[in-house]
Amino acid sequence: MRFYLLALAALALTGCATTSGDMLKSGATPQVVRLRDGSTVQYMEYIPASYHGGKAPVIIFLHGSGEAGSDVTRVMGPGPWAYAKAHPDFPFIILAPQQPRDEEWEPKRLKEWLDIAEARIPADKHRIYLTGLSLGGGGAWAWGIHQPRRFAAIAPVSGYSNAKTPCALKNNHIWAFHGETDDVVPITDERPLVDAAKVCGADITYTVYPDGNHNAWDATYANPALYAWFLDHKN
């Protein structure tokens, strides 16, 4: 823990420094940036073993409520992490912020964080992808609707949204996932949003696991088709 705290303290809080691609080391490291209001955002930055320079596609991952808190390494629980580690050819950099409290993700705050975090890495800005599970699935919907042109594709898992209309996403590519028997975030909280997105003209696929409960993420993030689908789309 002492090493972890020292590592965080040594990071640049202003976010103005850019990390050269040839200085990046593969693996996961904790990062922190300071926002304009003086608050900070902790996040994990994962550089794949396959990275050897140049611009790289980026997955933004938003965790669920169980990973909120002050230990940023908790965000590396459920999600794309196991798949990334098990596949040496995994091409994506992963950026995963942490919520300090169990509350809704705030798109404006996330935007400011990503502006800083993205500038530190050799990101291919035409291939930025957004995904999240449960609370993070709701965050993916909300952020995608708030800033639709930023992401080449969006993949909410076990998500929901309080938005009345998703028509801001009409030019986006969406693949949403949900368990039919989800008793934490009922599928009825998301299905109307998916149907409305279709009416608006969004390119959307909805995968429903017939016998699946809330944990739709293990199957989703273990599926190589998801990562191939991400790479099929560019802004």
- The string of DSSP codes covering 169-180 is GTTSEEEEEEET
DSSP element (H, E) containing 225? helix 224-231
Place of tokens 């030019």: 171
- Res 165: pLDDT: 78
- Res 17: pLDDT: 46
Residue 189 CB-density burial (10 A; 0-12 exposed, 13-18 middle, 19+ buried) = middle
Alpha-carbon distances of 214 from 105, 179, 180, 183, rounded to whole Å: 19, 6, 9, 6
- Res 164: pLDDT: 67
Q: Dump pLDDT digits (tens) for 82-98.
A: 999 999 999 999 999 99
- For 6, other C-beta atoms within 10 Å of its C-beta total 9
End-to-end Cα, the chain, rounded Å: 40
Q: What is the DSSP letter of 164?
A: S
Q: How confident is the model at residue 22 (pLDDT cuts 50, 70, 90)?
A: low
- Res 55: pLDDT: 95
CB 41 within 8 Å of CB 33: yes
More confident residue, 19 or 230: 230
- Res 3: pLDDT: 34
* Single-letter amino acid, residue 144: G
Assess whether pLDDT exceeds 60 at residue 11. Answer: no
Q: Dump pLDDT digits (tens) for 215-227.
A: 999 999 999 999 9
E strands, the chain, are 27-34, 40-47, 56-62, 93-97, 123-133, 153-157, 173-179, 203-209
Q: Where are the alpha helices (DSSP H) in 18-105?
A: 81-86
Q: How confident is the model at residue 1 (pLDDT cuts 50, 70, 90)?
A: very low
Q: How confident is the model at residue 5 (pLDDT cuts 50, 70, 90)?
A: very low
51: tokens are 């990275």
Output the average pLDDT for the chain: 89
Assess whether pLDDT exceeds 60 at residue 19. Answer: no
- Res 26: pLDDT: 86
Q: Which of 194, 198, 33 is closest to 119 using CA atoms?
A: 33
Q: Dump pLDDT digits (tens) for 48-81.
A: 999 988 999 999 999 999 999 999 999 999 999 9
Assess whether pLDDT exceeds 70 at residue 158. Answer: yes
* Single-letter amino acid, residue 122: P
More confident residue, 15 or 33: 33
